[in-house]
Amino acid sequence: MAKFRDSTADASVIEAAAARQPAPPLPPAVDADPEVHDRSIGDIIAELRNLSAEQVEQVLAHQRSTGVRFGEAAVALGFASKDDVLFALAQQFHYPYAPEEERKLAPELVTLNEPFSPRAEYFRALRSQLMMRLFAEGEQRRAVAVISPDAGDGKTYCAANLAVTLAQLGGRTLLVDADMRGPRVHELFRLHNRTGLSGILSGRADKGVIQQVPSVPSLFVLPVGTTPPNPLELVERPAFGLLMRELAVKFDHVIVDTPAGIYGADAAVIAARCGSAIVIARKNAARVAMLQELVASFEGSHVKLAGVVMNEY
């Protein structure tokens, strides 16, 4: 993902969907027992790899003689892997990090799979820009629609990873899959898609439509559910706007994935109901005319357009 480009534009629903989810458990850092959050990297690696006292002493001796960190010493001696060290760092700093088996299932979730990588850092930079532009103190709370002019621009990839980075701050974050033409969010997070947004908007709400992501306690997902034959009509109804406003009150951040602009007016309508949007375009593939047309579709609306992100991946 590349730089954030500036662009400006004037900018009791169904309780089963909007009901406040239970707050995630307090992280170890605020546990009453100081020993819980004073564990060192060495303690975590030793427990993870079930190292004996003799092996730990060997690591410490190597650490003293070479001046490297405990994790590096353990890796050098073959007692731990680099992945173990990353896991230990994530545990110590209370940073969600997907286990190896989950990383193979959803390689697109770079903010979970590679939380200390340059790609993850790009999403943290994007998060910072949004925090300043859309989530500043005193600003009206809005859901943020992630839109793109064409299929394959990486819109779902960006929406999912942005939602993860917001959740990593500790705030309750909801990722809504409003792409009722080609939903993928539930696949990325390995969640069921039996019920969801389409059921809510058609008056068939069920309990449990909002699901918590197991590996990220502060992240919740509202999937599409059954793919409807009339997606545009569903998001144009007043119920969708009411739902977005209700969710924006009940969660700290709401990110909404949308269909690509080539499929119709869905994205523009969803962005208008959310109140704010960012545009995703693929580097060396997006056409300027399509971007201009997409941005122009917000003229006369109250959408706060934060900017344009050029996706390099």
Q: What are the DSSP calls for 103-155, one per residue? A: HHH-TT-HHHHSTTSHHHHHHHHHHHHHHHHTS-TTSPP-EEEEE-SSTTS-H
pTM of the model as a whole: 0.74
pLDDT at residue 95 in the model: 65
Please check whether residues 80 and 174 belong to one and the same domain.
no
Overall domain count for the chain: 2
pLDDT at residue 144 in the model: 96
pLDDT at residue 301 in the model: 77
71: Cα separation from own chain's centroid: 29
Please check whether residues 117 and 256 belong to one and the same domain.
yes
Please check whether residues 270 and 152 belong to one and the same domain.
yes
pLDDT along the chain (313 residues), means of 10: 46 39 39 47 84 90 90 89 75 65 73 86 93 80 92 93 92 96 94 93 83 89 94 94 94 96 92 94 81 79 86 79
Please check whether residues 182 and 141 belong to one and the same domain.
yes
**Residues counted in the chain:** 313
User: Which residue among 93, 120, 148 closes a domain?
Assistant: 93
pLDDT at residue 71 in the model: 87
User: Which residue among 41, 63, 93 closes a domain?
Assistant: 93
Half-sphere exposure of residue 57: CA atoms within 13 angstroms, side-chain side? 3
Q: Which domain holds residue 53?
A: 29-93
Please check whether residues 151 and 186 belong to one and the same domain.
yes
In whole angstroms, what is the distance from residue 50 CA to residue 44 CA?
10
What residues have CB less than 8 Å from 58, skipping those under 6 apart? 77, 79
Q: Which tokens in the block code for residue 282?
A: 């693929």
pLDDT at residue 97 in the model: 62
What residues have CB less than 8 Å from 302, skipping those under 6 apart? 10, 11, 272, 275
User: Which residue among 76, 93, 110 closes a domain?
Assistant: 93
